[in-house]
Amino acid sequence: MLAKGVKRPRGEMEGGDPEPRDPSAAPASSLFNISMVKLHQSLRHVEPNLRHLVLVANTLRRMQDQMQREAGGPMAPDSPEAPSVGDDLLLSAMDSSISTILEDLGQVEVLSPARPEEEQPLAGASGARQEPARTSAPCLGPLELLSSASYLLEDSLEDIFEDIDTSMYDCDLWSPTSLSGFKAFSGAEDSDSKALAGAEDRLDMSDLDYLMDVLVGGHPPGAHRGRSIS
């Protein structure tokens, strides 16, 4: 497929006969295939050997450059004329494979962020780099993330409350301030909840009981019209 009429030396693959000093004289296609197989084998592991992966990927890129150079001629390394449709597809497939593979590895840290990220020495704010908690937004800076653990917690909280019927909250009886007090019960560690902790104190026990009754369905929401909720 990539053959340029170069005959593959028999000794090359079997390692028997003494070979030419420059193994790049060997056809790139067989090495290419071997490398792709290695990449895929590497990915069968949940946590691939990163060194192996990176070295194979870099070797593949080298081969890609070589093939592009050979295809495009020495004058046009950056914009090679497509040697053939097959080659082009192969090269772009390889490129995207490598990119996807490495990008997926970025997901590894979303699941279990390493603790040292939370323990940056104070003086190191300039140099300390935090983990992006999502790969879709990799550029969250250190100031935006207090700690990736609490970021995840906040995220999952919204999911928990997703299917709760919030129609009762739309009632006039409930002022926005009391809603924010409810959030304080969640125990989330973000700065918002800390500010609202004071609001929690203002809700006295009778209000809490009423809240519980409404949620459990004991009292219809309108039953205590006129009752003020502070």
Partner 1 sequence: MAGAGGGGNDIQWCFSQVKGAVDDDVAEADIISTVEFNHSGELLATGDKGGRVVIFQQEQENKIQSLSRGEYNVYSTFQSHEPEFDYLKSLEIEEKINKIRWLPQKNAAQFLLSTNDKTIKLWKISERDKRPEGYNLKEEDGRYRDPSTVTTLRVPVFRPMDLMVEASPRRIFANAHTYHINSISINSDYETYLSADDLRINLWHLEITDRSFNIVDIKPANMEELTEVITAAEFHPNSCNTFVYSSSKGTIRLCDMRASALCDRHSKLFEEPEDPSNRSFFSEIISSISDVKFSHSGRYMMTRDYLSVKIWDLNMENRPVETYQVHEYLRSKLCSLYENDCIFDKFECCWNGSDSVVMTGSYNNFFRMFDRNTKRDITLEASRENNKPRTVLKPRKVCASGKRKKDEISVDSLDFNKKILHTAWHPKENIIAVATTNNLYIFQDKVN
Q: What DSSP letter does each residue of 100-136 carry, written as one string?
A: HHHHHHHHHHHHS--GGGGG--GGGGTT--PPPS-SS
4 binds partner 1 (CB under 8 A): no
112 binds partner 1 (CB under 8 A): yes
Q: Say how many residues touch partner 1, by CB under 8 A.
A: 60
Restricting to residues 32-51, name those near partner 1 by CB under 8 A. Answer: 34, 38, 45-47, 49-51
Among candidate residues 167, 164, 168, the one with its CA nearest the CA of residue 186: 164
Taking only Cα atoms into account, the Rg of the chain, rounded to an integer number of angstroms, comes to 30
**Quick one: angle between helices 85-111 and 28-43, nearest 10?**
20
73 binds partner 1 (CB under 8 A): no
Identify which of residues 38 and 219 has a Cβ nearer to partner 1 in the complex. 38
16 binds partner 1 (CB under 8 A): yes
Contact 187, 197 (CB under 8 A): no
Identify which of residues 40 and 129 has a Cβ nearer to partner 1 in the complex. 129
80 Cβ contact partners less than 8 Å away, ≥ 6 residues apart: 68, 69, 71, 72, 73
Q: Rounded distance, CA 130 to CA 60, Å?
A: 30
Site string for partner 1, 150-189 (x = CB under 8 A): ----------------------------------------
Residues making contact with partner 1 (CB under 8 A): 12-16, 18-19, 21-24, 26, 28, 31, 34, 38, 45-47, 49-52, 54-55, 57-59, 62-63, 66, 98-99, 102-106, 108-109, 111-117, 119-121, 123-124, 126-129, 132, 135, 138-139
